DNA sequence: CGCTATCCAATACAGTTGACTTGGAAAGTG
DNA sequence: CACTTTCCAAGTCAACTGTATTGGATAGCG
């Protein structure tokens, strides 16, 4: 056998080039030639690693999802089950007011960090959100991409629900009425998704989005007394 | 002068053909020829009414937005200021538990009707949401489309905020802490947007989305006592 | 050294795209 | 009846699309 190159590494390089383009021009305006140019390789080489465009798109989506998952996990020191996103993005920023602790930070802190991490607050996470939006638009008409979301989102919701249950047990949750953790988790995810949308559209600033998220969290965790 | 046809009517016909396609295939896969075929006219005729593709897209967006606004207004009997959407959709269904009343239905009922009307609960509103999603994906990279959202969404938020203020004055709002009507309005819009997203992706059913929206409303309007 | 499997650059190809041009039919006005 | 303006069908155009093919450079194995 000849040269033997690292296939996965090559595919990753190409996926990152795709990411760079999708963040600025969107996903549907992306041609194979453009991706090849951005990755600084020939079209022939790109086609050697991805026989079809859809194959490339799907690989790139899974790649950014796994990156997002890893980043969240690392940031939290793997406290419980693992989150994952089906089509949105996370990023790197945000404060961690209680980093040194025995059993890790409180559920509220973890939750807030995850959710804030999903908002487009800096350039990096903004590009991530743009790519996520591009994938969403495509997924709506693509059964295979839909399936990715149908797997990832419930997983993320379960993760959040577990955090909420933890807070509930500690009595940190506003519980005038008993609220359903999974429902609240999906509400949180939907909320962040919508906040991301309107931030990307320029309807609100990232700071406003974060403040609104905090307002919701504040109500959710309102001193139960 | 010759034939003199109703320009606006022709353009509307074309916009509706575009809508039909965008709801099934998305917006980026739509060519002028396809729209012309769907509208059962020649490409030449289409180009006579829209000199450029972007012109057609923008007109179609404004058209569906004005339709949505009119529908909401009619459903509510024009209680206050007028709502409008920048990129999502409403539809026709939902109950109106208190249709015959002097000053109209309560703020909560109006709010719930509007929000539920924005969710993709039947085929018609589902297509509307798909078109909205397609426009969102494009708007993110198109300054002109962005501008539409930057005008429409705050208008809708103001409308909702006014409803919330009305409820607040009646003492119908959960107000352990005083909550900011505009913030809550944007939270509601974002929430519905996210719920719409995940319903379109098949992560949840329309019924589940509605139940989750109701859970949020229930908490918002919790008996302030 | 051959040999062969891998890698990949170049090119070709059939199809589609948005925009433009041309030419003439229809119809109200003078 | 001209005449002019609106309307619009047909065709052209260059650009670009995803995919397929061809041919050869490279390098590990026998």
Q: For A7-220, which CATH superfamily applies? A: Tetracycline Repressor, domain 2 (1.10.357.10)
pLDDT over 50 at A92, yes or no = no
Residue B177 is predicted with a pLDDT of 61
pLDDT (tens digit per residue) in B184-211? 999 999 999 999 999 999 999 999 999 9
Q: How far apart are CA B18 and CA A18, in angstroms?
A: 29
pLDDT over 60 at A225, yes or no = no
* Residues A160 and A112 sit within 8 Å (Cβ to Cβ): no
* Cα distances (angstroms) measured from residue B211 to each of A139, A160, B216: 24, 19, 9
Record the tokens describing residue A140, joined without a space.
């709506």
Residue B88 is predicted with a pLDDT of 46
Q: How far apart are CA A86 and CA A147, in angstroms?
A: 9
Q: Which of residues 23-42 of A touch strand D (CB under 7 A)?
A: 30-34
Residue A71 is predicted with a pLDDT of 75
**From the CA of B140, how many Å to the C1' of C22?**
38
* Lookup: nucleotide whose C1' is closest to A43 CA: C9
pLDDT (tens digit per residue) in B136-189? 998 998 888 999 999 999 999 999 999 999 999 888 888 656 789 999 999 999
Q: Mean pLDDT over residues A98-125, rounded?
A: 80
Q: Mean pLDDT over residues A25-48, rounded?
A: 94
| 3-class SS shares of chain A: helix, strand, coil, % to 5 | 65, 0, 35
Lowest mean pLDDT among A189-193, B39-43, B60-64: B60-64
Grade residue B3 by pLDDT with cuts at 50, 70 and 90: low
Q: Which nucleotides of C are covered by protein (CB under 7 A)?
A: 4-11, 16-22, 25-29
Nearest CA to A188 among A169, A162, A170, A208? A162
- Using CB atoms, which residue from B134, B202, B212 is nearest to A146? B202
Q: How distant is the alpha carbon of residue A21 from its chain centre? A: 18
pLDDT (tens digit per residue) in B79-123? 444 454 444 443 333 333 334 445 678 899 999 999 998 999 988
Domain extent listing, chain A: 7-220
- Using CB atoms, which residue from B140, B187, B219 is nearest to A191? B187
Nearest CA to B136 among B86, B204, B67? B86
Which residues touch A106 (CB under 8 Å, ≥6 apart)?
A: A98, A167, A170, A172
Q: How far apart are CA A224 and CA B9, in angstroms?
A: 58
Grade residue B68 by pLDDT with cuts at 50, 70 and 90: confident
Q: How far apart are CA B188 and CA B212, in angstroms?
A: 12
Nearest CA to A3 among A37, A45, A35? A45
Q: Which of residues 27-46 of A touch strand C (CB under 7 A)?
A: 41-45
Residue A94 is predicted with a pLDDT of 33
Q: Name the CA radius of gyration of chain A, rounded.
A: 19
Q: Which long-range contacts (CB under 8 A, 24 or more apart) does B211-218 make?
A: B211/A183, B212/A183, B212/A186, B212/A187, B212/A190, B213/B115, B213/B116, B213/B119, B214/B112, B215/A179, B215/A180, B215/A183, B215/A184, B215/A187, B216/A187, B216/B188, B216/B191, B217/B108, B217/B111, B217/B112, B217/B115, B218/A177
Residue B188 is predicted with a pLDDT of 98
∠ CA B161-B151-A127, rounded to 5°: 100
Contacts of A189 in chain B (CB under 8 A): 194, 198
Residue A91 is predicted with a pLDDT of 32
Count the Cβ atoms, other than its own, within 10 Å of residue B93.
14
Nearest CA to B167 among B71, B75, B96, B79? B79
Residue A163 is predicted with a pLDDT of 95
Q: How far apart are CA B188 and CA B113, in angstroms?
A: 13
Residue B97 is predicted with a pLDDT of 37
Lowest mean pLDDT among A131-140, A168-177, B156-165: A168-177
Which residues touch A206 (CB under 8 Å, ≥6 apart)?
A: A119, A120, A121, A122, A199
B138:A26 CB<8 A? yes
Q: How far apart are CA A188 and CA A129, in angstroms?
A: 17
* Cα distances (angstroms) measured from residue A67 to each of A144, A167, B196: 20, 27, 26
∠ CA B78-B79-B82, rounded to 5°: 60
């Amino acid at each position: 056998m000849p040269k033997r190159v690292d296939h996965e590494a090559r595919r990753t390089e190409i996926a990152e080039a795709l990411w760079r383009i999708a963040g600025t021009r969107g996903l549907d305006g992306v041609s194979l030639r453009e991706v090849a140019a951005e990755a600084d390789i020939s079209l022939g080489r790109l086609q050697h690693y991805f026989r079809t465009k859809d194959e490339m798109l799907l690989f790139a989506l899974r790649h950014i999802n796994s990156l997002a998952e890893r980043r969240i996990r690392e940031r939290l020191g793997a406290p419980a089950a693992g989150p994952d996103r089906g089509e949105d993005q996370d990023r790197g920023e945000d404060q961690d007011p209680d980093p040194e602790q025995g059993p890790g930070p409180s559920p509220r802190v973890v939750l807030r960090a995850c959710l804030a991490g999903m908002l487009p607050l800096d350039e990096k996470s903004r590009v991530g959100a743009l790519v996520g939006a591009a994938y969403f638009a495509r997924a709506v008409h693509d059964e295979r991409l839909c399936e990715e979301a149908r797997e990832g989102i419930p997983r993320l919701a379960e993760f959040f629900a577990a955090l909420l249950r933890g807070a509930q047990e500690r009595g940190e949750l506003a519980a005038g009425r008993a609220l359903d953790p999974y429902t609240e988790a999906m509400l949180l995810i939907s909320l962040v998704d919508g906040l991301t949308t309107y931030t990307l559209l320029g309807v609100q600033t990232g700071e406003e989005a974060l403040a609104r998220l905090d307002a919701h969290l504040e109500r959710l965790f309102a001193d139960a007394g």
